[in-house]
Structure 1
Amino acid sequence: MTSWLRLRDWPIRRKMLAFLLAASILPLAITAVIEFRTASTIIRRSAIALLQARATHLADRIDDFHLTFQRSVDRLSHLPLPNAFCQGSPATRAKSLSTAEDVLSVFRSTDPRTHVVALFDREGTIIASTLPAIRGRNYRFRRYFQAASAGSPVTSELFISVSEAGAIPTIAYAAPMKSSSGEVRCVALIVARGQEFWDLVSAGDGTAGPGSYSVVFDQYGIRVAHSFKASEIFHPAAPLDPSLIEMFVADKRFGERTRELLQTPIAVEDEFSRVRNGTFGEPFRVTTPANNLVNLAVGQRLKRVPWTLFFLVPERTLEAPVRQLVNETLSTNGGILLLAIVAGLLLARWTVAPVRALTSAADAIRAGDLTASVPVDSGDELGRLGSTFNTMVESLRRSRDELEDKVRERTEALKVANDALETRNEELRLQAEELLVQRQELQVQREDLEVKNREVQRADQLKS
């Protein structure tokens, strides 16, 4: 394992800085995670509450829209003059047509959102109308007429009006006009412009946060309003049953394009299933083709008609304040860490300085400089260590001086002994030279004696 991976081999300064950073980062990281999770939860709850509030507000406005026309058509169905007109003979109706249509015009003028006000006879033929182009035409095929002629007031689905009525998106409000015996004699009709309803839905666009929008489905899962993407309107959110498609084709709900539109679903299965099953109360996450994003959605069933309103907001909108909070937290924590690093460097430098002084002094002593010492300016452990070190150095210095004195004394003693030895050696040399001279003299005397001895022997031989 390399030394930089082994903590115990790190310099003290690096260790202190690492521990300081760890001690700073850990609580900051834990705090950031807790803050992130808490903020995410709070923001999500707030977003859900806001979505539900916006959905309720918009649903109430849509319900008020329907209620206004439902009440208007109910009043119209009970007015004496329209009822008298309805129960009259064809000749009587022809005479009073202008008066009857004046009454219808009053109803139309009281609300600019109204497109047409008309009266049907029992066969489904328009007998009076604020729009002359449709007078005398038969619309028995319309399902709202069939329901109203059966005796119940009805609000239609959103549909495209016939070409003579402008072929525009409309909503029909029909109410039966009954005789005193309870028999349905006519049907009162008020048709509202669908664009007014769409404008109402579009007004809520973005009110629950950037990118938030709403979409309204009828009870069959067909979109009847979209706050920003009109191209999705009239398309179901999932494939419809063929018999249902045939029913709307017979009703000419969307004119000539009814079959084409209903057979081209723009799939959002989660919304479709909630519309059809009525399970729209809980918030849910859904990816929609309207924005190709994951959205948080809440649903609410309208009170006046069996339609369902969904209010949605992209999850990235919810994450935006969390991301901002995270960025601000990271910036703040980064500043804190920077200060911690600077403080750590200063602290490490202040702490390591005595250690470095000890190291330098120890290196000097190892090189033989026993005059080295460390400054002591604190009473902490490092200060006591410095004092102990200086005491140790002083002790080493005294020991060295004592040793040097002893070596010097021994050296002088050895020198004296050496001088005495040299003197003795010189005396011995002189004595050896003397002995050598004496030996040489003895050798000469010996040779003289030998000569004299030979002479004596020769003389003795001569004498004999």
Structure 2
Amino acid sequence: MPVQNTPLSFWQKLRFRNWKIFIKFMVVLLVLAVVPLLIVTFSSSREASNALVDREEINISRLAYSTAQRIEQLLGDNHNVISMLANDRDVITYISQYREGAVQIQNQVDINYTILNARDSHDTIELVSVFDAEGWAIAHTKEYIVGSQWDFRKYFQQAIQGNKYLSGILIGGKDDTPGIFGSAPVYSQDHSEIIGVLSTKIRGDYVTDILVNTLSSEEGMLSGNEFLEGEVYLINEYGMVMAHSDTDSDWLYRSLGRVSKDDLKDIVDVMMLGGDCPADNPTCEPLEKIAREPQPMPALQPLADTLLPLMAAGGSGHIRYCRPSDIDAPASTDVSDCPGQRHSIGYAAVTNPVSDTEESIFMVVVDIPEEVFLGDINAFVQRAKFSAVILAVIVIVVSLVVARTLAKPIGHLSQVAQNVENDEPFEPDDIAEVTVLGDEVGRLARVFSSMVLALRARMAELRTIYEIGSKISDNVDLPDTLSDIIASLGDVIDFDAAEICLYDLQNNALELYLTNTEIVSDDETIEKTTYDSEKDYFPLLFGGRQGVMINDIAGYTGHKLSTDRSWDAFEPKSYLGVSLGNQDRVVGTIEMISSRMNGFSEDNKRILESISIQAAVAISKAQEVKDRERRLVNMDIVLDESRTNEEVEKVTSSEFFENLKANLNKRRTQNK
């Protein structure tokens, strides 16, 4: 039942869901972009410098949060790649065969292609490593690392125990470059044991680029001076600065304050900062290197004492601190005294995406001197008002452009859908300009096109089945009916040979009545070819009402074709058959073969099943007509015999025959 389009009333048109798309976009973008800016502008005009500082602290907190989100997204995407590779068939096969010492050249080619493709497809990934269960690198995007052992790395130790792991920033033990290592266990094919570890290394310079670009990409939050004076850096759980927007900063790879002995041991054990070869062995292996220790910045101990608990707690926010001019000096104990500059910090914890406890793996710190916040408040307000107007204009233009981008293809798709509803012709080219889009609208158009084509194909199929059914139902002569069935099936199904057998209930056998090249006489005096109903594929056909399709006769492990059949010369490779039943009575079977493997499709099977119902009825009707004709012929014979007997009796009872009989009896008496 079609949906009726009722006109909307005036009040219904005012509801948001009934607005046009471009109006919705314009209003939403104006509300999201312009309204907050206006609120900030008018509130700031009534506040003093402290309020401005507070607002800027919120801004840098947001900036820190957005940066943390980008890094979290980077880590999450990378670990999705790790999980995918750890479950890759080529990786599992290669490790399994490596354990068994049965690695083939093709396996080596496949694993190298897989890891190189993963690296080249993601510009954030520097290395992809495959380790066996002992920590030996057995495949690597840098071939010179293959053959070295890395079981001392925590990312291997955690993964080999069945845990997904993500490290902080580490200095590579081989190439001495920074990066973030992620790992996941590789399980055997039956998932019964861990056979190795898959690891990737995120480029450390990519993380640095995020920090470098953070300030320059957030023009709506900070002023020009803040860009020049601001710094963004990452600290880990030990308070070490592991990445910095200024790659030449003397803070890089140093700790805020001093680390404890236990923490120092952990740092050295995992070689967090890499290591140096002994003086007598400049080309040593990673295990032979002497781990580097972080150099402390004692004057920043108060900052470390503040930030590390906040990192452990997670979340984001802002604080103020005194940045000493001499970071190597002892920490000041006088809280009121600031031997340097007052700075504001926006911070945000970066959550470990593979941790069940949502622990923090880094903290993003946006560090800006407070003095750059203080400027001409009135000038700021004027600039903000001007920006609001410009932004409003931009929002309106953008909303119109975006709305048109969405509304036009949706409108076109709607028009084509209406044409389909009116049963007008449809071709995929009608919506080609929509299907090429890569967004949800394009996907919807592609699904719509496939759906229409599939539905019309089904309608054509049903129309064909109906036409075939009408054709075979119009004939009541059994041979002609069987011939029509085979001819009709040949129009829609490609087969090499076919047989139609009718079921003989008395002998529980199947009599061959028709092949695609010969009609067997239905004369009962002529002996017909019969098949045992318990052999070949007949038990499968009679076991259910559905058809039987076998794509590879030779490889089929069930019933076998053991009887000599009319199609043996074609060397059948695939088979399609269906039983014919009418009112719970088995009528016969239709079988066909192809000399090609996979010679039949599910569509062929469905058509044959549909036609078989009408074919069974047509054959039953033809059999009934034939039986009726046979009974009429027998009745004529009986009637002819009855008429003959009456004529004989009439002649023998005449006077002539009575006199002749009497004379004959008299002579017999005289002779005696």
TM category (shorter chain) comes to 0.5 to 0.7
**Contact 1:59–1:300, Cα closer than 8 Å, also in 2:** yes
CA distance in 1, matches of 2:195, 2:323: 47
Deviations 1:118-145 (A, max 9, x none): 1011111001111101001001111111
Q: Which runs of 5+ in 2 are unaligned?
A: 1-43, 277-289, 328-339, 353-359, 381-672
| 1:187 CA drift (Å) | 0.5
CA distance in 2, matches of 1:204, 1:101: 36
Given the superposition, is the C-alpha separation of residues 80 and 121 from structure 1 closer, same or farther in structure 2, using an over 3 Å criterion? same
1:48 matched to 2:48? The reply is no
CA distance in 1, matches of 2:134, 2:265: 23
2:165: which partner in 1?
Answer: 154
CA distance in 1, matches of 2:108, 2:167: 26
The equivalent position to 1:132 in structure 2, one of 104, 118, 143, is: 143
One-letter code of the match for 2:185? P
Given the superposition, is the C-alpha separation of residues 309 and 266 from structure 1 closer, same or farther in structure 2, using an over 3 Å criterion? farther
One-letter code of the match for 1:80? R
Given the superposition, is the C-alpha separation of residues 141 and 298 from structure 1 closer, same or farther in structure 2, using an over 3 Å criterion? same
CA distance in 1, matches of 2:303, 2:365: 8
**Contact 2:317–2:348, Cα closer than 8 Å, also in 1:** no
SS of structure 2 residue aligned to 1:38: coil
**Contact 1:176–1:188, Cα closer than 8 Å, also in 2:** yes
SS of structure 1 residue aligned to 2:367: strand
Deviations 1:93-124 (A, max 9, x none): 35322221111111011012221111011111
1:230: which partner in 2?
Answer: 249
| 1:261 CA drift (Å) | 4.2
Deviations 1:367-386 (A, max 9, x none): xxxxxxxxxxxxxxxxxxxx
1:309 matched to 2:344? The reply is no
Deviations 1:26-80 (A, max 9, x none): xxxxxxxxx9992214312320231122112111111111112111111111111
**Contact 2:65–2:347, Cα closer than 8 Å, also in 1:** no
Which gives a bigger RCO, structure 1 or 2 (Cα 8 Å, sep 6+)? 1
1:121: which partner in 2?
Answer: 132
CA distance in 2, matches of 1:297, 1:94: 56
**Contact 1:220–1:275, Cα closer than 8 Å, also in 2:** no
User: How many residue pairs align between the two structures?
Assistant: 290
**Contact 1:236–1:267, Cα closer than 8 Å, also in 2:** no
The equivalent position to 2:303 in structure 1, one of 271, 294, 308, is: 271
CA distance in 2, matches of 1:260, 1:294: 32
1:195 matched to 2:205? The reply is yes
1:239 matched to 2:258? The reply is yes
The equivalent position to 1:87 in structure 2, one of 96, 104, 109, is: 96
CA distance in 2, matches of 1:100, 1:50: 47
One-letter code of the match for 2:346? V
**Contact 1:124–1:138, Cα closer than 8 Å, also in 2:** yes
**Contact 2:183–2:200, Cα closer than 8 Å, also in 1:** yes
Deviations 1:174-204 (A, max 9, x none): 1111233442211001111101111111111
Report matched runs for 1:209-228 at 5 Å: 209=223, 210=226, 211-228=229-246
Given the superposition, is the C-alpha separation of residues 57 and 275 from structure 1 closer, same or farther in structure 2, using an over 3 Å criterion? same
SS of structure 1 residue aligned to 2:103: helix
Identity of aligned residues (%): 18
TM-score (norm 1): 0.58
Q: Which runs of 5+ in 1 are unaligned?
A: 1-34, 326-464
Higher strand proportion, which one? 2
Report matched runs for 1:333-348 at 5 Å: none
CA distance in 1, matches of 2:108, 2:273: 31
1:106 matched to 2:154? The reply is no
Given the superposition, is the C-alpha separation of residues 281 and 271 from structure 1 closer, same or farther in structure 2, using an over 3 Å criterion? farther
> Pairwise CA RMSD of aligned residues?
2.7
**Contact 2:323–2:341, Cα closer than 8 Å, also in 1:** yes
Report matched runs for 1:267-306 at 5 Å: 267-278=299-310, 281-288=316-323, 293-304=341-352, 305-306=360-361
1:58: which partner in 2?
Answer: 67
SS of structure 1 residue aligned to 2:182: strand
**Contact 1:204–1:213, Cα closer than 8 Å, also in 2:** no
Larger Rg, first or second structure (1 or 2): 1
Given the superposition, is the C-alpha separation of residues 80 and 48 from structure 1 closer, same or farther in structure 2, using an over 3 Å criterion? same
SS of structure 2 residue aligned to 1:253: coil
Given the superposition, is the C-alpha separation of residues 130 and 45 from structure 1 closer, same or farther in structure 2, using an over 3 Å criterion? same
1:141 matched to 2:152? The reply is yes
1:205: which partner in 2?
Answer: 215
| 1:213 CA drift (Å) | 2.0
CA distance in 1, matches of 2:87, 2:191: 14
One-letter code of the match for 2:296? T
**Contact 2:257–2:304, Cα closer than 8 Å, also in 1:** yes
CA distance in 2, matches of 1:63, 1:182: 32
Given the superposition, is the C-alpha separation of residues 122 and 314 from structure 1 closer, same or farther in structure 2, using an over 3 Å criterion? same
CA distance in 1, matches of 2:83, 2:134: 20
Report matched runs for 1:164-183 at 5 Å: 166-179=175-188, 180-183=190-193
| Superposed structure 1 runs of 4+ greater than 4 Å apart | 257-261, 279-282, 289-292, 322-325
SS of structure 1 residue aligned to 2:375: helix
**Contact 1:148–1:175, Cα closer than 8 Å, also in 2:** yes
**Contact 1:119–1:127, Cα closer than 8 Å, also in 2:** yes
SS of structure 2 residue aligned to 1:124: coil
**Contact 2:235–2:242, Cα closer than 8 Å, also in 1:** yes
Given the superposition, is the C-alpha separation of residues 77 and 272 from structure 1 closer, same or farther in structure 2, using an over 3 Å criterion? same
One-letter code of the match for 2:349? R
